Each structure stands twice: as C-alpha cells, then as structure tokens.
C-alpha cells in the first residue's frame, strides 16, 4: 500500500541546546504532523571540534497549510539561526537513478527486478555501459540504453559523454552496478554524494581489482561486499552499507565469487534504498545512516 505524501527534512548543525525544540516547535506551530524522527549527536572529532547534530524528520504533507516551496522559505530562518545544512525532499518526486554496468549482470538484473516490482520507488531514465552486452535486456524493459566505450586513450571523452547523458536524463543518482571502470576525478567531483558503487569486498580490505582472488590468497574466513559513495580515491569513499558471509578452506575463488554475488545484490539494493529515502548523511568520510 502506498504511503501518504510526506516531506523529508534532513539536516546537520553544530551540536547545541534546543535543536529539536526549535525544529519540532516550528512544525507544531504550522500544524505539521511528524511521522518519523531520527536523531544523532556526533561527538567532537577531526571534522568538527564542537560536535555535530544530525536529524531526519518525515512530515505528512497534507498536514501543512502550504506547499513545499513555502515550507522551505519559512524554515530558512530557523536553519540560519542554528547554522544548519539542510534540505527537504518531497516523496511525490521519484528519484531518477542512472545505472552504469559493464559485463557482470547480477546487480543490474536485481535492480531492474526490484524497480519493476515497485520495491524501489525510483525512475530509471537510462542505463549506460561500456559494452553492448545488455542492450537487448535493458531495452526489453523499456529503458533507453547507451553504450559509451572506455578506451585507454579516450577516457576523458568517455566520461564527458557519461556526464552529458546523466545531465540530459536529469539524473539524481548514478549507480555503478559492477561498472568495472575507474571514474575520472572530474566526474567524481561533479557529483559528490550522488554516485554509489558496489565493491565486492568488505572494505577497507582488498581494494581495487580481483578482491576475491586477494581474499582467497590471504585465507580469510569472511568475505563481503560494500556499498559506498564514489570519490576520486579508489574504493575509499564513505561507506553506506556492508554485509559478509562465512567461508572456509574448502571454498575456491569460483565459490567465493558465487557467494559474493548474492551479497553484492542485497547490499547495493539496501544502500540505494537508504540513499533515495534520505537516510544517509555525510560526516567527513563517514556516514550517519538512519535505518
């Protein structure tokens, strides 16, 4: 059953007395009906000497006497008083997710299945790949497919084209669903906190290529997958979600790859869901995730 329309306020500010009272008081003054609230006080650290306060609040849209633009305008003075970084999202506006993929099918298949079953409340305006492999499959779903080859001497042009397609599609989020290319620093810098990757290891262990082979050579007893935001530093971006599975000495690299595919799919889907629902707030190179 579809939920009623709601607005989601996500915010952070220097930790201080009265934050919750100011925000909830503002909403109450306008008859705002709070559906869900998540709060976290981050102690002082290298990113903020005074500590930082994080919040996520869902407000029933029809409880307010005005629309979203006026809500934002009225809330601005509260945010300024609290020195707050904030945004308000409307549940009626579906996030536009552009998927990038190479030649591994499992994450792409899973995301399209969840999208088709309406388990992920998103629009997929297009899929971009550096190979033609999945054109027929993607177009069968009625989704435009763009093949943008990435060559060693043409990476800048390729990523400029990826950026053009993303902008033309009015994308909100870019998902690397086993896209086996390293994005350019310029592309990463253009969309901070908007590019999500699934890496087939439990980061920070086994970064880069062939992590299952690295894990087998190391003789680990747990393997995993990590959903994280993409930055210019390879596999070092803020982590959104992780999971693991136990293995033993009898498992081959092929076994580990097979086990890992299941983890990769579920971790990516959970991480993407947290992101599109506004449940992930950045704190330096870490995340606050309100599940």
Which sequence positions are flagged as catalytic?
A: 235
> Tell me, what DSSP letter sits at residue 64?
S
Q: Rounded CA gap, 154 and 148, in Å? A: 11
* Rounded alpha-carbon distances, angstroms, from residue 278 to 38, 181, 248, 264, 269: 11, 27, 38, 21, 14
> Among residues 44, 40, 45, 49, which one has the least CA distance to residue 12?
40
Q: Rounded CA gap, 131 and 150, in Å? A: 9
Is the CB of residue 162 less than 8 Å from the CB of residue 187? yes
**Tokens encoding 11:** 């915010």
**Tokens encoding 284:** 């330096």
């Amino acid at each position: 059953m579809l939920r009623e329309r709601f607005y989601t306020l996500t915010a952070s500010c220097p930790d201080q007395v009265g934050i919750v009272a100011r925000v909830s008081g503002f909403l109450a003054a306008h008859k705002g009906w709070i559906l869900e609230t998540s709060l976290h006080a981050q102690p002082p650290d290298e990113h903020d000497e005074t500590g930082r306060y994080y919040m996520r609040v869902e407000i029933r849209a029809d409880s307010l006497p005005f629309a979203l633009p006026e809500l934002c305008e009225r809330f601005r003075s509260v945010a300024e008083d609290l020195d707050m970084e904030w945004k308000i999202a409307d549940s009626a506006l579906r996030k536009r997710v552009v998927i990038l993929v190479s030649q591994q099918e499992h994450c792409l298949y899973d995301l399209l299945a969840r999208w088709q079953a309406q388990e992920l409340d998103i629009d997929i305006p297009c899929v971009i790949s550096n190979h033609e492999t999945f054109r027929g499959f993607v177009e069968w779903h009625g989704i435009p497919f763009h093949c943008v080859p990435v060559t060693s001497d043409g990476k800048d042009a390729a990523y400029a084209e990826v950026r053009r397609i993303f902008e033309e599609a009015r994308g909100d989020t870019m998902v690397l669903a086993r896209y086996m290319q390293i994005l350019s620093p310029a592309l990463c810098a253009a969309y901070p906190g908007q590019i999500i990757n699934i890496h087939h290891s439990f980061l920070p262990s086994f970064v880069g290529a062939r992590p299952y082979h690295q894990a087998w050579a190391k003789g680990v007893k747990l393997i995993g997958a990590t959903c994280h935001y993409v930055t210019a530093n390879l596999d070092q971006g803020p982590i959104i979600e992780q999971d693991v599975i136990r293995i033993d000495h009898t498992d081959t690299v092929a076994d580990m790859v097979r086990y890992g595919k299941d983890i990769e799919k579920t971790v990516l889907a959970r991480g993407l869901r947290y992101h599109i629902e506004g449940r992930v707030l950045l704190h330096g190179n870490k995340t606050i995730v309100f599940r």
